[in-house]
């Protein structure tokens, strides 16, 4: 049996309960007394991880949930398509398991920006530049935790903060969905393409792609924008994947999602039973 992560609710249910509660726990651990959990940012591939935003909405109703994608494949921003270099996200359709009604903002991020920051964060000249700019050594030391889609989330977090004019009380959390373990060859490719990383490159990338991050290629979703994204599912899932129209219509109903996420207890029971049966417990 082949599980399709784009349409298996288990994917979203897992992230709702686990990623969601972990994000909540992290916020509680780091937040000052007057801080707000202002936004949760998630790049969408199968749209499992963004379901943590549904969990957080139940605890922090005013939170902004932002979906990020590549500007070169702006499906949520412009019903667009295209090849891009942010690996693991953006498959040119709206996943069945994405509760678009809970998404407040779409941020499309230029993949060139992600690749340039990948170099800034991983070339010795880039790291030295950041240290000299006053970035703390422990932060510089942790930059390899960010792979390409994590950098995409980071840039989207800055954009979201600028768009909503967040201040020092507003906390944004975003998962780092990949790390540099996967991308050594991508850094080598960039070196081959653009030559050795020089101080001038680091300065330019820092100024243009971090300090200069603006609010371009964002879309705050209104009711009918969300409905348009929901409707876009029709072409993939009903026309091509033989889903029933009634099933699609149900995805627009908030009760459907509440009921679906509540199935976790039933699922846990089934998993325990299965594990017992195969001798894992």
Ligand X SMILES: Cc1ncc(COP(=O)(O)O)c(C=O)c1O
Q: Binding residues for ligand X, per CB under 6 A?
A: 43-49, 87-89, 147, 149, 177-178
Determine phi and psi for 219, rounding to 5 degrees. -145, 115
SS3 219: strand
Give the residue with the Cβ less far from ligand X, 84 or 206. 84
The smaller minimum CB distance to ligand X, of residues 116 and 177, is found at: 177
251/97 Cα distance (integer angstroms): 9
Closest contact distance (angstroms) between CB of 170 and ligand X is 24
Q: Determine the Cα–Cα distance for residues 278 and 272; give it in Å rounded to an integer.
A: 10
Minimum CB separation of residue 45 from ligand X in Å reads 3
Task: Round to whole Å and give the CA distance between 255 and 135.
Answer: 46
Least distance to ligand X, CB of residue 167, Å: 29
Distance from C-alpha of 219 to C-alpha of 184, rounded to nearest angstrom: 33
Bridge-based pairing of strands 105-109 and 64-70 is parallel
Closest CA to 187 of 109, 115, 88: 115
For residues 71 and 82, the answer to whether their CB atoms sit within 8 Å is no
Least Å from the CB of residue 95 to ligand X: 7
Give the residue with the Cβ less far from ligand X, 85 or 243: 85
* CB of residue 251 to ligand X, shortest distance in Å: 17
> Given the complex with ligand X, which of 104 and 178 has the nearer CB atom?
178
Which residue is listed with tokens 């373990």? 181
**By beta-carbon distance, which residue lies closest to ligand X?**
88
What is the closest distance, in whole angstroms, from the C-beta atom of residue 281 to ligand X in the complex? 27
Residues pairing with 109 in the sheet: 70
Rounded to 5°, angle at Cα 202 from 198 and 207:
150
At 85 the three-state DSSP class reads: coil
Taking Cα atoms as reference points, which of 181, 188, 150, 163 lies closest to residue 45? Answer: 150
Q: What minimum distance in Å lies between the beta carbon of 152 and ligand X?
A: 8
Nearer to ligand X, 45 or 126 (CB): 45
Q: 217: alpha, beta or left, given left = phi > 0 and alpha = psi -120 to 50?
A: left
Q: What's the closest the beta carbon of residue 51 comes to ligand X, in angstroms?
A: 8
Nearer to ligand X, 38 or 52 (CB): 52
| CB-nearer residue toward ligand X: 80 or 88 | 88
Radius of gyration of the chain (CA): 20
């Amino acid at each position: 049996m082949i599980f399709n992560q784009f349409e298996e609710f288990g994917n979203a249910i897992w992230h709702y309960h686990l990623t969601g509660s972990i994000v909540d726990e992290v916020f509680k651990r780091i937040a000052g007394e007057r801080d707000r959990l202002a936004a949760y940012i998630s790049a969408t591939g199968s749209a499992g991880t963004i379901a943590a935003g549904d969990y957080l909405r139940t605890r922090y109703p005013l939170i902004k949930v932002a979906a990020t994608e590549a500007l070169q494949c702006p499906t949520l921003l412009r019903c667009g398509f295209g090849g891009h270099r942010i690996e693991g996200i953006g498959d040119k359709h709206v996943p069945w398991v994405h509760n678009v009604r809970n998404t407040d903002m779409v941020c499309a991020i230029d993949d060139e920006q992600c690749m340039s920051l990948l170099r800034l964060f991983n070339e010795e000249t880039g790291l030295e530049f950041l240290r000299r700019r006053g970035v703390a050594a422990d932060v510089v030391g942790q930059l390899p935790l960010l792979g390409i889609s994590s950098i995409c989330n980071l840039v989207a977090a800055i954009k979201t903060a600028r768009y909503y004019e967040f201040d020092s009380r507003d906390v944004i959390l975003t998962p780092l969905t990949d790390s540099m373990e996967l991308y050594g060859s991508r850094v080598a490719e960039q070196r081959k393409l653009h030559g050795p990383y020089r101080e001038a490159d680091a300065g330019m990338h820092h100024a243009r792609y971090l300090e200069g991050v603006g609010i371009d290629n964002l879309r705050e979703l209104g009711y009918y924008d969300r409905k348009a994204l929901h409707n876009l599912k029709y072409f993939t899932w009903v026309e091509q994947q033989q889903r029933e129209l009634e099933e699609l219509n149900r995805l627009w109903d908030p009760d459907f999602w509440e009921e679906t996420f509540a199935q976790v207890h039933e699922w846990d029971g089934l998993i325990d039973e299965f594990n017992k049966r195969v001798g894992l417990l």
